[in-house]
Chain A
Amino acid sequence: MAQLRQDYEQFTARDAEILVVSPETAEEVAKFWQDQDLPFPGMADADHKVADAYEQKVSMLRLGRLPALMVIDKEGNIRYAHQGGFMHDIPENKEVLAVLERLNAVQELSKA
């Protein structure tokens, strides 16, 4: 989370919001968000409903103990997915920012 917070302005500058879904309880997530003062929404998914739905949707993902990160474009399509191999293994920010730049460029082209 600290990694994402560090470059949050870079994400918002690329027309993106970060949404974090956590398998912990609402109380645990709320405490962590307060302690860390994170600028993006954090959501508890303690019963794993959303994680299960996304696991079915994107077969490469194993959502549970391991982290995963997806980029969803403005049309609501998942365009990038990364499955972490170990705790807190998310891609480097620069990789995700590059994906966003590409999506924005494609969208600009389709508008023209």
Chain B
Amino acid sequence: MANLKIQAKNFTLKDTRGQDIRLSDYEGEKNVVLVFNRSIL
């Protein structure tokens, strides 16, 4: 990988259990693997 370093944009979306997921909640806590994909074939 190149030396990619771009500040990620925060977002809030509801997950399938109706809970708000905020990207910023993971800051300082965990790495995030963020996947954009269709779930359905």
Chain A residues packing against B (C-beta within 8 Å): 1, 4, 11, 14-24, 26, 28-30, 32-34, 41-45, 49-51, 53-54, 57-58, 61, 63, 65, 67-81, 84, 87-88, 90, 96, 99-100, 103-104
Q: Tell me, in angstroms, the Cα distance from A29 to B37 when the chains sit together.
A: 11
* Measured CA separation A87–B37 after assembly (Å): 8
B22-34 vs A, CB cutoff 8 Å, 1 = contact: the mask equals: 0110111111111
Inter-chain contact A78/B4, CB cutoff 8 Å: yes
Residues of B within 8 A of A (CB): 1, 4-11, 13-16, 19, 21, 23-24, 26-41
A19 touches B29 (CB 8 A): no
Residues of chain B within 8 A (CB-CB) of A63 are 36
Asked whether B30 lies within 8 Å of A53 as measured between CB atoms, the reply is no
Q: Is the interface of A mostly helix, strand, loop or mixed?
A: mixed
Judge whether B31 and A14 touch: CB under 8 Å: yes
Given contacts A24-B40, A78-B7, contact A44 B14 (CB under 8 A): yes
Considering only CB atoms, which chain B residue lies closest to A53 in the complex?
Answer: B9
Q: Do A11 and B36 have beta carbons less than 8 Å apart?
A: no
Contact assessment for B38 and A67 in the assembled complex, using a CB-CB cutoff below 8 Å: yes
Question: Which one of B9, B30, B35 has the greatest number of beta carbons of chain A within 10 Å?
Answer: B35
Q: Which residues of B contact A4 (CB under 8 A)?
A: 33, 35
